[in-house]
């Protein structure tokens, strides 16, 4: 199991954005827990930016802003019953917007 903490988490299933969250991943990369970050926990990796929880692979189209991205991925049909975590970095959490060089990476 791996544990990550991050500034923001966006869930594709609920369309909710949560601040200061901890997520736990099982060995098969599925998200097993999500809870508020209230204190430092040993063996937790800090990820600046945003993590998106999605049951399907996601990607960013060139020139797409975050609002357009959320709208597009909300229409992706559910392809799995488990959630995966995708880290978007760099990401401007103050503006809730992609940076010019934002990348999306599946957390492992």
pLDDT digits (tens, 9 = 90+) for 24-72: 999 999 999 999 999 999 999 999 999 999 999 999 999 999 999 999 9
Strand order in the sheet with 44-54: 31-36, 16-25, 2-11, 44-54, 84-92, 97-106
Domain that residue 33 falls in: 2-106
Structurally, the chain folds into a number of domains equal to 1
Q: Is 79 helix (H, G, I), strand (E, B) or coil?
A: coil
Residue 6: pLDDT over 90: yes
Residue-level pLDDT at 34: 97
Domain containing residue 64: CATH number = 2.30.40
User: What is the pTM for the complete model shown?
Assistant: 0.94
Tell me the C-alpha to C-alpha distance, in Å, between residue 38 and each of 6, 34, 35: 12, 12, 9
């Amino acid at each position: 199991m791996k544990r990550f903490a991050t500034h923001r988490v966006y869930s594709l299933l609920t369309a909710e954005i949560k601040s200061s969250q901890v997520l736990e991943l099982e060995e098969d990369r599925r998200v097993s827990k999500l809870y508020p970050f209230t204190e430092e926990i040993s063996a937790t990796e800090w990820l600046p930016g945003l993590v998106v929880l999605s049951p399907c692979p996601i990607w960013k189209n060139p020139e797409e802003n975050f609002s357009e991205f959320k709208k597009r991925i909300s229409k992706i049909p559910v392809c799995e019953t488990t959630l995966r975590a995708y880290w978007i970095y760099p990401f401007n959490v103050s503006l809730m917007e992609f940076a010019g060089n934002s990348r999306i990476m599946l957390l492992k």
